[in-house]
């Protein structure tokens, strides 16, 4: 899939073509234009989850309705063109846009964590911003005996994550409002701008000896205990809360 996504803009063109085909097929069997539009737009928004950057996701999600509008192939009420934006907001809530892009954690990225951050049987581990569950799968590969939790702001992503990771406790919520104090390890794959906030929250809430782990992005406000390397070359930063 990653190799295919690198053939940009072919993935976007393919999504637009499939959405157009679905729209046309529904029209031909007598579906209402609004239902056909909603279904085709939902397909584009769902496919946008595979995009590796925000602008690519927007192109994949909004390309079909823009093409449809320019073509004049169908007449719809003005408010109907808000449907693609509403679908986007459902998947990508506004307050989540300032955090990490939806980009999956490679399955083996965290495999060496136990060598530096050993956890006991049944340790509570949180994937803060779990998305579709790739981080939870990587954590399970590293800590098969841990009690894994996922927290995700988007309801649709939370539901999909729960389906993909039935062995984890996945709930909807804001990672910045949630209480981290009960976890022995919190994993993040955020963005550089989020790391000072994550460091401050970890110092305030995590218990002495607990771990904060970040894929790729460093929490410069904390001294790193270790810096591992994922198979794809990205760093994995480990921070342990001071033991008083």
Q: What pLDDT digit, counting tens, does each position of 14-72 carry?
A: 887 888 888 889 888 888 877 887 788 888 777 777 766 666 777 777 777 776 766 66
Does residue 73 sit in the same domain as residue 125? no
Cβ(139)–Cβ(170) under 8 Å?
A: no
pTM across the whole model: 0.65
Confidence of residue 89 (pLDDT cuts 50, 70, 90): low
Residue 170 included in any domain: yes
Range of the domain at 46: 2-92
Does residue 169 sit in the same domain as residue 216? yes
Q: Which of 22-31, 59-68, 171-180, 213-222 shows the lowest per-residue confidence on average (mean pLDDT)?
A: 59-68
Q: What is the pLDDT of residue 53?
A: 63
* Count of the separate structural domains present in the chain: 2
Residue 99 included in any domain: no
Cβ(44)–Cβ(60) under 8 Å?
A: yes
Does residue 62 sit in the same domain as residue 156? no
Confidence of residue 10 (pLDDT cuts 50, 70, 90): confident
Mean pLDDT, all residues of the chain: 83
Whether the per-residue pLDDT at 194 is higher than 80: the answer is: yes
Whether the per-residue pLDDT at 92 is higher than 80: the answer is: no
Q: What pLDDT digit, counting tens, does each position of 120-153 carry?
A: 999 999 999 998 899 999 999 999 999 999 999 8
Does residue 33 sit in the same domain as residue 124? no
Average pLDDT over residues 162-173: 94
Does residue 218 sit in the same domain as residue 125? yes
Exposed (0-12), middle (13-18) or buried (19+): which is 8, by Cβ within 10 Å? middle
Residue 175 included in any domain: yes
Residue 104 included in any domain: no
Does residue 123 sit in the same domain as residue 84? no
Does residue 126 sit in the same domain as residue 232? yes
Residue 65 included in any domain: yes
Greater pLDDT, 198 or 40:
198
Element (DSSP H or E) covering residue 138: helix 134-142
- For residue 164, the domain's CATH number is 3.40.50.150
Last residue of a domain, one of 27, 62, 92: 92
Average pLDDT over residues 168-181: 94
Residue 100 included in any domain: no
Exposed (0-12), middle (13-18) or buried (19+): which is 223, by Cβ within 10 Å? exposed
The most confident of the ranges 22-26, 56-60, 185-189, 219-223 is 185-189
Does residue 82 sit in the same domain as residue 135? no
Confidence of residue 240 (pLDDT cuts 50, 70, 90): very high
Q: What is the pLDDT of residue 80?
A: 59
């Amino acid at each position: 899939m990653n190799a295919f996504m690198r053939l940009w803009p072919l993935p976007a063109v393919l999504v637009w073509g499939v959405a157009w085909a679905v729209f046309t097929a529904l029209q031909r069997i007598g579906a209402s234009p609004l239902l056909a539009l909603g279904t085709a737009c939902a397909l584009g928004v769902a496919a946008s989850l595979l995009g590796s950057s925000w602008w690519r996701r927007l192109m994949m999600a909004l390309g079909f309705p823009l093409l449809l509008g320019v073509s004049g192939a169908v007449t719809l009420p003005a408010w109907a063109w808000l449907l693609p934006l509403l679908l986007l907001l459902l998947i990508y809530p506004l307050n989540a846009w300032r955090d990490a892009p939806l980009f999956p954690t490679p399955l083996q990225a965290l495999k060496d964590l136990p060598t530096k951050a050993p956890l006991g049987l049944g340790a509570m581990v949180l994937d803060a911003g779990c998305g579709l569950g790739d981080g939870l799968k990587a954590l399970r590969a590293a800590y098969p005996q841990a009690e894994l939790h996922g927290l995700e702001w988007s309801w649709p992503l939370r539901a999909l994550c729960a389906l993909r990771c039935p062995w984890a406790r996945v709930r909807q919520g804001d990672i910045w409002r949630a209480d981290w104090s009960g976890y022995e390890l919190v994993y993040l794959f955020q963005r550089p701008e989020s790391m000072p906030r994550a460091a401050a929250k970890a110092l305030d809430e995590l218990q002495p000896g607990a771990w904060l782990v970040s894929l790729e992005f460093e929490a410069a406000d904390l001294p790193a205990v270790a810096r591992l390397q994922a198979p794809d070359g990205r760093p994995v930063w480990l921070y342990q809360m001071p033991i008083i």
